Amino acid sequence: MSFNDRRDGFIGQVDWILVGLYLALTLIGWMHVWSAVPGQERLSPFDLSSEAGKQFAWLIICLLVGAAVLLTDTKLLFAFRWPLYGFGLALLLVVLVIGQEVGGNKSWIVLNSFIKIQPSEFAKYFTALALAGYLATPLHLAPPAGRWPGFFWIFMAPITLVMVFADVLLGQGLQMKRVVYWLKAFALIGIPAVLVLAEKDTGSTLVYAAFVLALFRFGLYLIMLYLGLGLAFLFLTSLVVQPWILILGLVLVSIAVWLFLLGRSRKAILPLGFFLVLLSLFTLGGRWVFDTVLLPHQRTRIMVLFDPDLDPKGSGWNVNNSKMAIGSGSWLGKGFLNGTLTQLKFVPKQHTDFIFSAIGEQWGLAGTTVVILLFLTLMMRLILRAEMQRSPFAKAFGYIVACVLFFHFFMNVGTTIGLAPAVGVPLPFVSYGGSSLLGFTLLLFTFIKLDAHNLEVLR
Amino acid sequence: MENRQRIYLVLMVLVGLIFWVRLFFLQGLDDRFKLAADTYSIRRLVNQPLRGNIFDRNGKVLATNDFAFDLMVIPSETQVMDTVALATLTEVPLEEMRKAWAKVIKNIEKKRRYKRQPQPLIRDLSQKSIAAFQEKMFRFPGLYVEKRSVRRYPEPFAAHALGYAREADASVLESDSYYQPGDYVGVAGIERAYESQLRGIKGVRKVYVDVRNNEKGSYMDGVYDTLPVPGSDLTTTLDIELQKYGEQLMQGKRGAIVAIEPATGEILVLVSSPSYDPNWMVGRNLRQHYGSLILNPGKPMLNRAVMDGYPPGSTFKVMNAMLGLQGGVINPSTVVPCGGGFRLSAAHTVGCHGHPNADLRFSITTSCNAYYCHVFNELTKTGANPRQAYSAWYEGAKRFGFGTKLGTDIPEAKTGLLPSPEYYDRVHGKGKWRGLTIISLGIGQGELKANALQIANLAATIANRGYFISPHLGKALNGKPLPDTTFKKNYTRIDTSHFQIAWEGMYGAVHKPGGTAKVARLDSISVYGKTGTAQNPHGKDHSVFMAFAPSNKPRIAIGVLVENGGFGATYAAPIASLIMEKYLTDTITRPALQERMLQTRLE
């Protein structure tokens, strides 16, 4: 590779495909925020007293911020990642104290009637910086485990147990250094997640799972991914299938795994048994958690997935009407500004969490296909570019951005078409909302900036 | 480690694919949503047409439209409310207000209505309480007033003829898709008979509504919208002044009066007593009066003029005379010795009052029982057997309208009872009955049942010398007379000439010595009448009278039935005579008689 300190100007080699995708999605978003208003009430899309106008203003601000990011020396961001992470946590603490409730979440700092910000959207960015910085030092270069206070272990006990047993199961032998390395990563993600949960913002909390998703690329036990997906599957099926049938199935699967995948290894019996017991307990506990821990409205949001007619005027209302709006769009849609259900406010939160249904109603399958393709292209481009990064920091950051976008895309679009529980996360770049748009802009443009200087990085 | 990149790419493509397949089914293949979305956001709003007015034959308004005000509520928009203040303001009893709220809440709990859907809280508030409410409306969010048209009857008479309209109930909604909940439908009298003409045509407006049911402009710029077409105005045959006089005369008595214009079959008067103010059947009045209407032993809701009725008594004899003449068993000069009655057997006699032996004319005048037992008995001997002979009589009597609804347009009309041959087969056994078994039919008693309409119609038939036009209440729609074919001309198939003797007999009954109805006599006008007494096994006999006048082109035929009035001459005949005098001369020459009739209370 090049040993020259190559410089492609001050800005570097910008990946204009990513910028183009960004512009396409934000313009689609702005257009449909404007469309989700009854005809008579629709002002000019530039009128600052309307939501579309505000979104336009935010878009201008975001473009300026994006340009600013492209002009910043990314070394600064890397250098200041810890202070910025601390600032993010401080913001989350502040919102807990002086935050105001908007729509049930105490996650807003209201500056004036015009501007209110949602610090959790920025905390995502700072967490991403810190986590990427942490992952930039790979496991084999990380310092030895050292001593950690007892409460840390207790707090992390479940994850630790899983990792210890995974080590044993994979027959690699217990590596305390590795366990501690990942525990620190989890702690990094967990602290802001807990603070956001304290704001009663379920959706934003779940988004932190996206950070964990990124860890697998950097060597986190894959078994945790499968376990996670398995648990999610078990949790949902335990709501509709008798638990003992599920446990019977688990036992059979475990035996099959032991027989055919683990080569009847004696050493694997104990950890396998551990996972079997864990999953069985989870299956039994899943129902219990569902019935006792979850709040009634959260429960119905999940049950509505199985039975859309369960509560058509209550919890099912949003999703039902969203599905109806999307479904009524048919192949080519009713035409722009002709979305009757959209304009008549039949879908609540139409311009924020349910913006996808406005697109589906007005543009039909053609429109939704385009949006899905845009997102797939964006996310896959991010993964491809991230993989090419020479700097481990940039690579980790790229994966984190892709995972965060992927998780939002999955939860948001999944909700509008009734495939995911309605937890209330925005569709990146498209949904109305300045804070989230700014947060995602920072994430994306920071990666674009890092990527632009990829070739300058010495190998 | 490199291949872990693939996990991410596969995961993303997989999710994208699942979403796309889901959208393909949701948007492409599943039609349910397209329809549901339309019914969801497009409302078909109905503009109710005004119900047609109803006039009497002289153009006086009998029924028109007023406005009523309903207090509506949108439960989702209400807040904690001062029910007491609301009740005081609207002058609704607190108890009723509480019940109304409970009903609104129950409708939502039982999912009959959505919380966002407006529903009536209190119906038919007065204009005064509405004005009071509207001043303070801001204190009651979620409540508003809706204007609606209701029926008003300017003259508090002719309730049974006019009938009434009310909100369509479940059975109407089920049987006729035209009606929607809340629509009004005529369910009795003229309001029912001419419902399809009076109701008009609903206007329809299709509008977009938002989730709060607010209108958001018309659908397709209103190309599918239609304006309501008001109902046709109906002119009736009633003479409301005469009707009013009839109802006054029947004050305190149970019974019925029907007066018909013989040449046309138009019903001038249709009184059923006791009666009620037709306005009582509208809106809040109904709730107020319904109890008393139902509990009243006089059954004011029953239309006595067209009910199954009572034996027609001696009025029936005139018809038997005609059937006898036509059947050839008597001629005008046939004399039947009376001798105090008709001897059925050694032990049984149909009694008669003492009078000289009578020919046909005088038998009508004096109402001889023996004569008509003889006529009927002879008639039942004319065929191959008594059953066949009776069948011929039965058909003849039916042609006079007995046992039929006469083809009238009064929806409540009953047939009365004219026993069929099959009826007697059932009662006495086949072949086990003959004329003498059922001899009371000869004098209008026995199983027979007839109502005032049928009796008045008999008078009209005689006045017409052999036919009648189906008696009716409808005359013209929007000023255009109903087509001639609407009401049938019914022939009795009795030779016109035979009726001369009936005229003479009935003239005699009023004007000649030995006549039974001399009280009905008018000085200036020839009156043709026949009294009757309907035997009543439960109490005092019913007083029956039929008549027509004048001699040249009779203009009025009348049937009067006064329950428990005794002899026909006692009450029925004077009342009929007063009405005829009022109609024909527009004056009353016998104030004393009028006063006596007005004051009499038989209830």
How confident is the model over B538-569, as pLDDT tens digits?
888 999 999 999 998 999 999 999 999 888 78
One domain, residues B378 and B454: yes
Among residues A342, A314, A321, A298, which one has the least CA distance to residue A418?
A: A321
Are B15 and A409 an interchain contact pair (Cβ–Cβ within 8 Å)? yes
Q: pLDDT band for B464, please (50, 70, 90 cuts).
A: very high
Question: Over the stretch A348-383, which tens digit does the pLDDT of each residue have?
Answer: 677 788 889 889 888 989 999 999 999 999 999 999
Nearest to A368 by CA among A321, A332, A402, A392: A332
- The pLDDT, as a whole number, for residue A2 is 42
- The domain boundary, picked from B209, B230, B251, lies at B230
| Closest Cα in chain A, distance from residue B33 (Å) | 5
Structure tokens at B443: 């004098």
| Residue B402 covered by a domain | yes
Q: State the pLDDT confidence band at A262, using cuts at 50, 70 and 90.
A: confident
Query: B278 in a domain, yes or no?
Result: yes
Instruction: Note whether residue B572 is domain-resident.
Output: yes
> Is B471 within the bounds of a domain?
yes
Per domain, the residue ranges of chain A are 1-71+306-459
Residue in chain A closest to B19 (alpha carbons) equals A414
- Say if residue B1's pLDDT is above 70: no
The pTM for the full model equals 0.61
Residue B489 has pLDDT above 50, yes or no: yes
Quote the ipTM score.
0.88
Mean local confidence (pLDDT), B204-223: 68
Token digits of residue B578: 């007063």
DSSP assigned state of B333: T
In a domain, B297, yes or no: no
Residue B85 placed within a domain: no
Instruction: Tell me if B366 sits within 8 A of B317, measured CB to CB.
Output: no
Residue B108 Cα, gap to closest chain A Cα (Å): 12
Q: Is residue B118 assigned to a domain?
A: no
Contacts of A406 in chain B (CB under 8 A): 8, 11-12, 15
Is the C-alpha dihedral spanning A325, A326, A328, A329 positive or negative? Answer: positive
More confident residue, B205 or B511: B511
Separation CA B442–CA B454 (nearest Å): 17
- Give the pLDDT confidence score for residue B277 in this predicted structure: 93
pLDDT band at B109 (very low <50, low <70, confident <90, very high): confident
Q: Find the range with the poorest average confidence among A330-334, B25-29, B218-222, B227-231.
A: B218-222
Q: Catalogue the E-assigned strands of A149-270.
A: none
B27:A330 CB<8 A: yes
Does residue A338 surpass a pLDDT of 80?
no
Percent over 70 (pLDDT), chain B: 94
What lies within 8 Å, CB to CB, of A5 at 6+ separation is: A456
What the block records as the tokens of B210 is: 């938002």
Per-residue pLDDT of A71-117, as tens digits, reads: 888 788 889 999 999 999 998 888 888 777 666 666 777 776 667 77
The residue assigned the tokens 């009309």 is: B413
In a domain, B523, yes or no: yes
Q: Which residues does chain A have within 8 Å of residue B114's beta carbon, measured at their own beta carbons?
A: 313
Q: How many CB pairs under 8 A join A and B?
A: 118
Residue of B nearest to A210 (CA): B8
Regarding whether B281 and B214 lie in a shared domain, the answer is no
pLDDT for A104 = 62
B248 and B225 in one domain?
A: no
- Rounded distance, CA B545 to CA B569, Å? 7
Contact A345 B30 (CB under 8 A): no
Closest CA to B406 of B289, B506, B492, B298: B492
A17-38 mean pLDDT: 90
User: Which of A328, A346, A376 has its CB closest to that of B16?
Assistant: A376
Do B553 and B491 lie in a common domain? Answer: yes
- CB atoms near residue B552 (< 10 Å): 7
Predicted confidence (pLDDT) at residue B2 exceeds the cutoff of 60? no
Return the CATH number at B498. Answer: 3.40.710.10
Q: Do B471 and B513 sit in the same domain of this protein?
A: yes
Cβ burial A58-67 (10 Å sphere, 16+ → b, else e): bbeebbebbe
Query: Distance from A303 to chain B by nearest Cα, in Å?
Result: 19
Same domain, B338 and B435: yes
Q: Virtual CA dihedral for A314, A315, A317, A319, nearest 10 degrees?
A: 180
Distance between CA B205 and CA A443 in Å, rounded?
52
Q: How far is CA B43 from the centre of its chain?
A: 37
For B415-429, write each residue's pLDDT tens digit: 999 999 999 999 998
Q: Give yes or no: residues B217 and B257 share one domain.
A: no
How far are the Cα atoms of A19, A40, A262, A351, B439 from residue A52, in angstroms, in the given order?
22, 15, 57, 9, 96
- Count of CA atoms in the C-beta half-sphere (13 A) of A405: 33
Nearest neighbour of B40 by CB, restricted to A313, A324, A413: A324
Provide the domain count of chain B: 2
> Please, what is the average pLDDT of chain B?
88
- Dihedral sign, Cα of residue A290, residue A292, residue A296, residue A297: negative
Residues of B with CB under 8 A from a CB of A: 1, 4-5, 7-9, 11-13, 15-16, 18-20, 22-24, 26-28, 30, 32-34, 36-38, 40-42, 114-115, 208-212, 216-217
Distance between CA B368 and CA B363 in Å, rounded?
Answer: 5
Taking alpha carbons only, the member of A389, A454, A452, A457 closest to residue A16 is A452
CA atoms within 13 A on the CB side of B133: 26
- In the three-class reduction of DSSP (H, G, I as helix; E, B as strand; rest coil), residue B68 is classed as strand
Q: Output B475 or A322, whichever has higher pLDDT.
A: B475
Give B50-93 pLDDT, tens digit per residue. 899 999 999 999 999 988 888 888 887 777 778 888 888 888 88
Tell me whether the omega of the peptide bond preceding residue B419 falls within 30 degrees of 0, making it cis: no
User: Could you give the C-alpha distances from B545 to B310, B313, B574, in angstroms and in order?
Assistant: 13, 9, 9
Instruction: Choose among A129, A119, A121: nearest CA to A84.
Output: A129
- For B335-383, how does the pLDDT look when each residue is reduced to its tens digit (9 = 90+)? 888 777 787 777 777 777 767 788 899 999 988 888 999 999 999 988 8
Confidence at residue B112, expressed as pLDDT on a 0 to 100 scale: 67
Q: Which residue of B has its CA nearest to A39?
A: B216
Name chain A contacts of B16, Cβ cutoff 8 Å.
372-373, 375-376
Residue B321: give the domain boundaries: 240-290+302-599
Does one domain contain both B225 and B342? Answer: no
